[in-house]
Structure 1
Amino acid sequence: MDKEYMTIGQLAKKMKTTVRTLQFYDQKGLLKPSMQSEGGRRLYTYQDMVQLHQIQSLKSLGFSLDEIKNQLEVLDTPQQVAHVLNQQASLIQEKIKQLTKVLQDIENLKEEVIQMQSVDFKKYADIIVNLQMNNDNYWVIKYFDEKTMDHIRQHFNQESGQEFINRFQQLSQKILDLQEQGVDPLDKRVRALAEQFWKMVEEFTKGDMSLLPQLMQFEHLNDNHNLAKQQNKVNAYLQPALGLYFEKAGIKFGDE
């Protein structure tokens, strides 16, 4: 056998695949042998071997054989080979990024499952949805009771829920910015934000004030998540302005 050629068996062994797979690639037009021997045996070159590596790399990334066939490029010059390798590297980096995200989501869900100390598949599903939304506050779900979770499921979908979270976080940041600037809690700017804050609470509860205890429990959390720390700071800073707003609006709670 000429040293420039390999039999199908030799190529399969070098690339850790099977003869049947290479035969299938030949039938599909993915990897045709460069020539055939007088006896009809498929013969492959080292260029074919590099082409096979390209196919294997794309296949490992989840591409279908039809998609791979459309992406295969000619490998006749060093520039063409380098271009293909650059493309493969970029695809692999993106896949690593995706898999890293999936792995982190799994680890986060596992941590929540352990902390909940009870089996609740509805909450697991809610946590998964929030992880897919890249909502860093997914962990809050474990603190909500079933009534609150049913309320959220009923009144918010993935899009509207994310939009509400974004608005609430933006409002909270404005409040914290005033606090960091040393603005008096009863300043008109703080009072205006306190009113917006309460309007958002009303928007969330849809008028069901029995949900308030669940929303206010952040004050008692020893959680290290930034949201708990941030919300405690917001609540404490807004308390005077909210008290004044409630008084002027005639809003009373409990037996007041």
Structure 2
Amino acid sequence: MQKERAIPEGYMTVGELAKKMGTTVRTLQYYDQEGVLSPSAESIGGRRLYTYKDMIRLHQILSLKSLGFSLSDIKDRLISLNTPAEVADILAQQASVVKEKIEVLSESLNAIEALKEEVLQMQTVDFKKYADIIINLQLDNEYYWLIKHFDSDTLDHIRSRFDIESGRLFMDRFNQLNEDIIALKKSGIAPDDEKAQRLAEQFWNMVMEFTDGDLRMLPKLMKFGNLKGENRDWVQKQTIVNEYIQPALNIYLSKIGVNPFKEVR
């Protein structure tokens, strides 16, 4: 009986290992069944014994498990730990995975903080808008903050007119047009100049593309020239663009015989 209880130096029972590593005997038994971590030896009485090398491997397994890896994934990632280089290699792999997880968590934290700011600025509970903002944050759309300024009808219109890719392309084209308008303004080109009129035509065409010809949306879109509470470069640029393009647009619309606000009424 004394022989069965004797544990060789450098070995520990499954219970001792579980206690040292803050896990359970059942978990270690399961890892053994799955071939992820088996005991290194057996006592004379048939007790399963683990070494400190097994302890390091268990640490490796538990770390990977906490990072969301399945046991099959972990099996593929386990390497031998017979040399300092091999131990350093697995630690480097774990560090790399942890860094990736930190990056993902940092992005999630930033998204949560951004959504919190949008929610507070909206001052109303609108889960549909929250969902739109979350989706755009996940897609790294830098214009997610615009969503809170749209009413429900406009948002429904946008959802029906644009998918993710076409919406992104539209914003890219619109921003490029804004840059061209700002460059023209800096050059001192008059609103009635041919170059200014070409840009006014492009601007109007984009308005028609966005609204799908529904001129009732124009008053709502005009509000975006003066977004209160938004200290963003895009808003400041839009203010500069609107100051220049408005007179050029008035001239262009007069030439083609269009009075959009009269038609809205």
**TM-score normalized by the length of structure 1:** 0.90
- Determine the structure 2 residue equivalent to 1:80: 86
- Determine the structure 2 residue equivalent to 1:247: 254
1:161 Cα deviation after fit: 1.7
Give yes or no for the alignment of 1:231 onto 2:238: yes
- Determine the structure 2 residue equivalent to 1:214: 220
* Structure 1 unaligned blocks of 5 or more: none
Preserved CA contact (<8 Å) 1:185 1:238? no
Q: How far does the alpha carbon of each residue in 1:133-184 deviate from its partner, in whole angstroms, 9 at most, with x for none?
A: 11122121111112111101111122222222222223323333444x5342
Preserved CA contact (<8 Å) 2:215 2:260? no
Preserved CA contact (<8 Å) 1:185 1:240? no
Preserved CA contact (<8 Å) 1:4 1:46? yes
Counterpart residue identity of residue 51, structure 2: T
Preserved CA contact (<8 Å) 2:174 2:206? yes
Q: How far does the alpha carbon of each residue in 1:9-62 deviate from its partner, in whole angstroms, 9 at most, with x for none?
A: 222222221111111111111111111111222211222122112211211111
Preserved CA contact (<8 Å) 1:109 1:124? yes
Using the aligned pairs only, state the percent identity.
Answer: 56
Q: Give the aligned length.
A: 255
Q: How far does the alpha carbon of each residue in 1:91-128 deviate from its partner, in whole angstroms, 9 at most, with x for none?
A: 11111111111122122222222222222221111111
Give yes or no for the alignment of 1:100 onto 2:106: yes
**Larger Rg: 1 or 2?**
2
- Determine the structure 1 residue equivalent to 2:189: 184
In terms of mean alpha carbon deviation, does 158-167 or 53-62 score higher?
158-167
Per the alignment, do residues 42 and 140 of structure 1 end up closer, same or farther by CA in structure 2, a change over 3 Å counting? same
Secondary structure (helix, strand or coil) at the match of 1:254 reads: helix
Preserved CA contact (<8 Å) 2:40 2:50? yes
CA distance in 1, matches of 2:82, 2:176: 55
CA distance in 2, matches of 1:183, 1:63: 61
CA distance in 1, matches of 2:105, 2:232: 24
Secondary structure (helix, strand or coil) at the match of 2:92 reads: helix
- Determine the structure 1 residue equivalent to 2:153: 147
- Determine the structure 2 residue equivalent to 1:48: 54
- Determine the structure 2 residue equivalent to 1:34: 40
Counterpart residue identity of residue 116, structure 2: K
CA distance in 2, matches of 1:36, 1:183: 89
In terms of mean alpha carbon deviation, does 181-190 or 198-207 score higher?
181-190
CA distance in 1, matches of 2:21, 2:175: 52
Give yes or no for the alignment of 1:89 onto 2:95: yes
Preserved CA contact (<8 Å) 2:10 2:51? yes
1:189 Cα deviation after fit: 4.2
CA distance in 1, matches of 2:80, 2:180: 56
Give yes or no for the alignment of 1:114 onto 2:136: no
In terms of mean alpha carbon deviation, does 42-51 or 1-10 score higher?
1-10
Preserved CA contact (<8 Å) 1:61 1:92? yes
